[in-house]
Structure 1
Amino acid sequence: MEYRRLGKSGLQVSALSFGSWLTFGNQISDKVADELMGVAYDAGVNFFDNAEGYAEGKSEIVMGNILKSKGWDRESFVVSSKVFFGTENKGPNRIGLSRKHVIEACNAALKRLQIDYLDLYFCHRPDKNTPIEETVLAMNTLLQQGKILYWGTSEWSAAEIMEAIAVAKQYNLIGPTMEQPQYNLFERNKLENEYLHLFNNHGLGTTIWSPLASGILSGKYTNSGVEGTRLGMAGLEWLKDRTLAADRMEKAEKLQRLANQLEVSLAKLSIAWCLKNPNVSTVILGASKVPQLQENLQVLEVLPLLTEDVLKEIEGIVANKPKLADF
């Protein structure tokens, strides 16, 4: 396993990490979840990603039970939660990024995960109804209390992150360390364009999600239906429609042919492509089956195959490289 610094911080995270979105407490059994975390940890994965909104809190309960049963040294792993969407009980002050919800959600996540502190705590989305100043101050309170070690954002715009950094500097507080954006061969603008100033001047780290574009870059939807996959789950029709758009399917098929020439899976090729970006601190893998995870954990072996010629061929297929603004 390779380990990378989380931005300019001293924290080292495994280049490949493991997340529980859509699977823990929902798509898979607790027994399979336990097996998956064990496989990941044994392969050198040290970062496990979660959120209050995943399975309305049940995902964190499942992961907490696993962490307790495994008995791993606390210093050997990094675990996250995210605040915004709330859990099962919605209502005033139970969602968003108000000081009240940020702090109460952190305390609740600690109980569900059965740990004393969160290594990483993310603002899961920007909250248009709460001043960024209030959220930054709440995060700093949790830092001072030792309940979180680093805080960051997820799917925020560069302007919103810059405002959080400015507020932190104004009050001499600790600003955001990391952002969790979607990044894959189809979603590139934030990592390769919008955030460049944040990387170059503020050392922002990234924990990227959906490296396989919700599975389309795994190749499993190219020749078969969605039954038995996350895209076949009730309530995720929006994800299916967006993921299986005709142009993406056509590009995925061309990428599959390239992967075949390189004698690697499309999934490993796509994940390795994400890791080639020096501004990616870690790629969060999801999995519902042990063989699937074992396969993708071998992706570091594929990196040497991504030569300049291969990368140019990939660019020719996807044809979506962000155009940088001229200043």
Structure 2
Amino acid sequence: MFALGSWNTWDRMEIEERLALMNRAVEVGSGFFDVAYYNMGPHAEASRTDLLFGEALRELGLAREKYQLCGKLWLWEYPQTGFADQMDVSLERIGAGQGGPESFETVVVGDFVGEIDIAQVVRDVQTEIDAGRFASWGVNNWPAASLQLALDTARVEGLTPPSFAQLKYGLVRRTMAEGEYYGRWFEEGTLALQASDSFEGGILVGQLSPGRKIGADVGGIREQIVAAYPRVLAIAASLDTTPAQLGIAFCLANPATANVLFGASKVSQFDDNLGAIELLERAGAQRIREATAGLWLDREVRADGVWAP
């Protein structure tokens, strides 16, 4: 249900905190880690987050079956920088050949920019699957029409189709997942949903002026999101919970949600987030959705998956 994210996460804490957080996640059965090398497009920021993650993973000495890894394949410089080269670098940086993991369980392919040969993407992904680098894949920030082409290509050519979509999804941003763009695939079970950026970079848990780089503001609604925080706080209080638990429980209330990706940087934050499961069981999905219905702020935003700065 929970996935720990890598962007601006592992480089925001000291080694002791990284070790404690990763160990706690594994301990409670949530050892699913999103890890990527941020080196292309708007993410060409020389981040060390994946290196630090790999160091901590080796320090813990966890058995490989105790955790799962979700990697990233970027389309920013594709096909000039192909998937095989990207996988070589990503695995090397987290310790392959040095006692670290030699493969991922799954990868996310994104972000979508410009003209992309979708059929070739599907074929190149299959090559990496056949090489044992990962077993499944999903998409991030793809136009709906391109995702349909990928699904069609996989079906016609007998290749592995994308099985999930990592989307901005939460209390205030719901259009891509619940609207006309991706909703039908989730309803029919073609795709699972990985909810990301659910806290809007921390805004929806009270960090109203984040001091770090956060996700794109699709539709230019961030001021509205900041203004909505008092309502989030009031709804959380009415349900005897925290804003973080409310935000995660909302995502989990959607039957399509496979996991919620967040960037906790302390064990205490992670443990607070765990309370979302108890909230969902106590209040129920219907009550949570009814209480938060008025927080859907991007109803009118055209959010078909195209990345926007």
State the TM-score bracket (shorter-chain normalisation).
0.7 to 0.9
For 2:53 and 2:187, locate their aligned partners in 1 and report how far apart those are by CA, in whole Å: 35
For 2:234 and 2:14, locate their aligned partners in 1 and report how far apart those are by CA, in whole Å: 34
The reply on whether 1:280 has 2:257 as its aligned counterpart is yes
For 2:3 and 2:221, locate their aligned partners in 1 and report how far apart those are by CA, in whole Å: 23
SS at match of 1:232: coil
Alpha-carbon offset, residue 30 of structure 1 = 3.2
The reply on whether 1:299 has 2:276 as its aligned counterpart is yes
Alpha-carbon offset, residue 105 of structure 1 = 0.3
Name the structure 2 match of 1:10.
none
The reply on whether 1:124 has 2:110 as its aligned counterpart is yes
Q: 1:103 to 1:264 in 2, by over 3 A?
A: same
Given that 1:99 and 1:135 are in contact with CA atoms closer than 8 Å, whether structure 2 keeps it comes out as no
Q: What whole-Å deviation, never above 9, does each CA across 1:120-157 have from its counterpart, x for those lacking one?
A: 11112124243112211111001111111111211112
Name the structure 2 match of 1:90.
none
1:62 to 49, 52, 58: 52
- Does 145-154 or 304-313 show the bigger shift? 304-313
- Pairwise mapping of residues 228-247 of structure 1 onto structure 2 (< 5 A)? 231-233=210-212, 244-245=222-223, 247=224
Name the structure 2 match of 1:41.
26
Name the structure 2 match of 1:7.
none
The aligned amino acid for 2:243 is L
Divergent runs of 4+, >4 A = 235-239, 317-323
SS at match of 2:48: helix
The reply on whether 1:137 has 2:123 as its aligned counterpart is yes
Given that 1:99 and 1:138 are in contact with CA atoms closer than 8 Å, whether structure 2 keeps it comes out as no
Q: 1:250 to 1:302 in 2, by over 3 A?
A: same
Name the structure 2 match of 1:9.
none
Name the structure 2 match of 1:195.
182
Q: 1:33 to 1:167 in 2, by over 3 A?
A: same
For 2:109 and 2:66, locate their aligned partners in 1 and report how far apart those are by CA, in whole Å: 24
Q: 1:169 to 1:30 in 2, by over 3 A?
A: same
- Pairwise mapping of residues 229-268 of structure 1 onto structure 2 (< 5 A)? 231-233=210-212, 244-245=222-223, 247-268=224-245
For 1:135 and 1:311, locate their aligned partners in 2 and report how far apart those are by CA, in whole Å: 37
Query: Which blocks of at least 5 consecutive residues in structure 1 are unaligned?
Result: 1-14, 86-94
Name the structure 2 match of 1:215.
202
For 2:174 and 2:276, locate their aligned partners in 1 and report how far apart those are by CA, in whole Å: 20
- Does 282-291 or 179-188 show the bigger shift? 282-291
- The percentage of aligned residue pairs carrying the same residue is 24
For 1:157 and 1:238, locate their aligned partners in 2 and report how far apart those are by CA, in whole Å: 16
Q: 1:19 to 1:251 in 2, by over 3 A?
A: same
For 1:162 and 1:307, locate their aligned partners in 2 and report how far apart those are by CA, in whole Å: 30
- Pairwise mapping of residues 125-204 of structure 1 onto structure 2 (< 5 A)? 125-193=111-179, 194-201=181-188, 203-204=190-191
The reply on whether 1:30 has 2:15 as its aligned counterpart is yes
For 2:187 and 2:27, locate their aligned partners in 1 and report how far apart those are by CA, in whole Å: 34
Name the structure 1 match of 2:98.
none
Alpha-carbon offset, residue 204 of structure 1 = 0.8
1:271 to 244, 248, 251: 248
TM-score (ref. length: structure 1)? 0.80
Alpha-carbon offset, residue 289 of structure 1 = 2.5
Q: What whole-Å deviation, never above 9, does each CA across 1:240-284 have from its counterpart, x for those lacking one?
A: xx6751x32332201211211222111111110111001110001
SS at match of 1:181: strand
Q: What whole-Å deviation, never above 9, does each CA across 1:206-262 have from its counterpart, x for those lacking one?
A: 2211121221211343xxxx4xxxx213x66976xx6751x3233220121121122
The reply on whether 1:101 has 2:82 as its aligned counterpart is yes
For 1:237 and 1:284, locate their aligned partners in 2 and report how far apart those are by CA, in whole Å: 13
How many residue pairs get aligned? The number is: 288
**Aligned Cα RMSD in Å?**
2.6
For 2:124 and 2:265, locate their aligned partners in 1 and report how far apart those are by CA, in whole Å: 35
The reply on whether 1:290 has 2:267 as its aligned counterpart is yes
Q: What whole-Å deviation, never above 9, does each CA across 1:52-84 have from its counterpart, x for those lacking one?
A: 217645222111112222222212211011122
SS at match of 2:114: coil
Name the structure 1 match of 2:64.
74
